[in-house]
Amino acid sequence: MNKCHGCGIVLQDEDINKLGFTKNIDSELCERCFRIKHYNDYKRVIKDNNYVLDLLKRIDPEALVVLVVDIINISETFELINNVIKNDILLVFSKADLLPSEMYEGKIDRIAKSLNISYVDKLLVSSNKNYNLDLLMKKINQHKKTNNVYFVGFSNSGKSTLLNKIIYDYTDLNENITTSLLPSTTLDLIEIKIDDDLAIIDTPGLLEEGNLIDVVDQNHLNKIMPKKKINPKVYQVKGSQLINIEDIITIGLTDSNIVLYISNALKVTREYNKKINGLEFDLNKDEDLVIPGLGFISFKTKTHVVIKTNYKLNIFKRNKLI
Ligand SMILES: Nc1nc2c(ncn2[C@@H]2O[C@H](COP(=O)(O)OP(=O)(O)OP(=O)(O)O)[C@@H](O)[C@H]2O)c(=O)[nH]1
Ligand SMILES: [Mg+2]
C-alpha cells in the first residue's frame, strides 16, 4: 500500500472523486498534492475532528508530543487536545515572524501559562525566518523518551512547514510534505526519519469550531492568512463609528482607541456617525477580543464593542497578548 508523500493518504487509482487518487499508483504524490505543489490549485477537504482524534489516540503514551500553536491564532481552548493527549508536551509557538516587534520572548511565558496545558518546555519559532530551529531540535532531543516524536496541533498552525524545515536543515532526505493555506492539508500520519534515534511524525490538524479559515472562500483565505510581519493598525474613534474589515466583519465603537492585529492584505474602511446591532462585548484595557482565523483587537481603554458578521464565528475575550 503506497502512501502519498505529501499528505500521508493511501494512494488509489480507482476513484477520481475519493482521497488519494492518482493516475499512476507508483507516483509519490496524490493528484491533490501534485496540484497544490505545482499549480497552487487547492482542493478543500474537511476531515472531521473525530477522524483526527482517532489518529491521535493511537500515539504511544511515552512519546514526546510537540504541540504547535500559531501565535497569531491561539485557540480559546485546548480541551480537545488535552482530552486525548496525556503525553509529555513540548509547547511550540509558531510563526514568530508575524509578530509585531513589541512582542518579545518574555511574554511567551505568560501566554503559555494562561493556556491550561501542562508542558515540559516551551519555545517560540519561525519556519519562515529559521528562528529557533536549532533550539527546537535541542529541546526535542532533550525531552524525548522514545525515538518517535509527534507534531500535533490545530489545522494551519504550521506543523508540516516546520517539519519540512527540519528535513531540509537536518537531513539529506528529499522529502517535502504538502503545506497550504487551506485547513486539513495533511490527511494522515507522515513519518520522517531524521536520524537513527529520531523519527518525527506529522499529524493532520484539528479543526477549531467557529474559525474563519473553515468558512471563507479561497480568495478571502489568501488575504486573512498573514504572510508578512503584521503592522498593527491603530484607530482613534470619535463619536460612533464602524470599522469594516473587507466584507468579513464590521466593528461598531464609540469614543475609543483600538489596535487591530490582522493581515496587512486586508482592506479596512471606516464609516462615521453610524451604529450597528450585533454581538456585544465589554472589554478592559488588559483584554483582547479574538476573532479566530482573522486576528485580534486590543483596547487602550475600557470599551464597548458591537460586532456584525455573516459568518458563524466563535469570538472570545482573553488576556492581552501584546
Ligand atoms: N508567516 C509564516 N507562515 C507560516 C509559518 N509556518 C507555516 N506558515 C503558513 O501557515 C499555513 C499552514 O501551514 P501548514 O504547514 O500547511 O500547516 P499545518 O499545521 O501542517 O496544517 P494541517 O496539515 O492542515 O494540519 C501555510 O500557508 C504556511 O505557509 C511561519 O513560520 N511563518
Ligand atoms: Mg500539515
Q: Which ligand is nearest to the CA of 47?
A: 1
Pair 101, 191 in one domain: yes
Rounded distance between C-alpha atoms, residue 167 and residue 30, angstroms: 21
Pair 244, 313 in one domain: yes
Query: Cβ(8) to ligand 1 under 6 A?
Result: no
Query: Cβ(189) to ligand 1 under 6 A?
Result: no
Q: What is the pLDDT of residue 313?
A: 96
pTM for the complete prediction? 0.97
58 pLDDT higher than 80: yes
Pair 194, 245 in one domain: no
pLDDT digits 0-9 by tens, 186-232? 999 999 999 999 999 999 999 999 999 999 998 999 999 999 999 99
Contact 14, 23 (CB under 8 A): no
Q: Which ligand is nearest to the CA of 94?
A: 1
Q: Confirm whether 68 is domain-assigned.
A: yes
Give the phi and the psi of residue 109 in degrees, each rounded to 5.
-60, -50
Give distance in angstroms: CA of 88 to centre of ligand 2. Answer: 21
Q: Confirm whether 13 is domain-assigned.
A: no
Pair 139, 175 in one domain: yes
Domain count, the chain: 2
Q: Confirm whether 11 is domain-assigned.
A: no
Pair 251, 311 in one domain: yes
Q: What is the pLDDT of residue 1?
A: 84
Q: Name which residue sits closest to atom 13 of ligand 1, judged by CA.
A: 158
Q: What is the pLDDT of residue 263?
A: 98
Q: What is the pLDDT of residue 103?
A: 66
- Give me the domain span that covers residue 309: 233-319
Last residue of a domain, one of 175, 208, 241: 208
Last residue of a domain, one of 208, 243, 265: 208
Cell match 500535533: residue? 152
Pair 177, 311 in one domain: no
Atom of ligand 1 nearest to the CA of 7: 23
Which residue, among 165, 200, 208, 202, has the nearest Cα to 183 in the 3D structure?
208
Pair 87, 140 in one domain: yes
Pair 100, 184 in one domain: yes
Pair 201, 242 in one domain: no
Q: What is the pLDDT of residue 33?
A: 97
Q: Confirm whether 31 is domain-assigned.
A: no
User: What cell was used for 32?
Assistant: 491533490
Q: Name which residue sits closest to atom 22 of ligand 1, judged by CA.
A: 155
104 pLDDT higher than 70: no
Q: What is the pLDDT of residue 46?
A: 76
- Grade residue 158 by pLDDT with cuts at 50, 70 and 90: very high
Structure letter (DSSP) for residue 61: T
- For the ranges 12-21, 23-32, 34-43, the lowest mean pLDDT is seen at 34-43
138 pLDDT higher than 90: yes
Q: Name which residue sits closest to atom 14 of ligand 1, judged by CA.
A: 158
Q: Confirm whether 214 is domain-assigned.
A: no
Q: Confirm whether 9 is domain-assigned.
A: no
Pair 57, 110 in one domain: yes
- For the ranges 82-91, 104-113, 143-152, 178-187, the lowest mean pLDDT is seen at 104-113
pLDDT mean over 20-27: 96
- For the ranges 98-102, 145-149, 280-284, the lowest mean pLDDT is seen at 98-102
Task: Tell me how far apart the 2 most distant CA atoms of the chain are, in Å.
Answer: 66
pLDDT digits 0-9 by tens, 257-294? 999 999 999 999 999 999 999 999 999 999 999 999 99
Q: Which ligand is nearest to the CA of 228?
A: 1
Atom of ligand 1 nearest to the CA of 125: 31
Q: Confirm whether 213 is domain-assigned.
A: no
Ligand 1 pocket test target in 48, 168, 179, 264 with most atoms within 8 Å of CB: 179
Pair 78, 196 in one domain: yes
Which sign, positive or negative, has the C-alpha torsion 202, 290, 125, 168? positive
Check which CATH number belongs to the domain holding 187 and give it. Answer: 3.40.50.300
Q: Confirm whether 51 is domain-assigned.
A: yes
Rounded distance between C-alpha atoms, residue 108 and residue 122, angstroms: 8
Query: Cβ(75) to ligand 1 under 6 A?
Result: no
Q: Is 95 helix (H, G, I), strand (E, B) or coil?
A: coil
pLDDT digits 0-9 by tens, 308-321? 999 999 999 999 88
Pair 291, 248 in one domain: yes
pLDDT digits 0-9 by tens, 118-135? 999 999 999 999 999 999
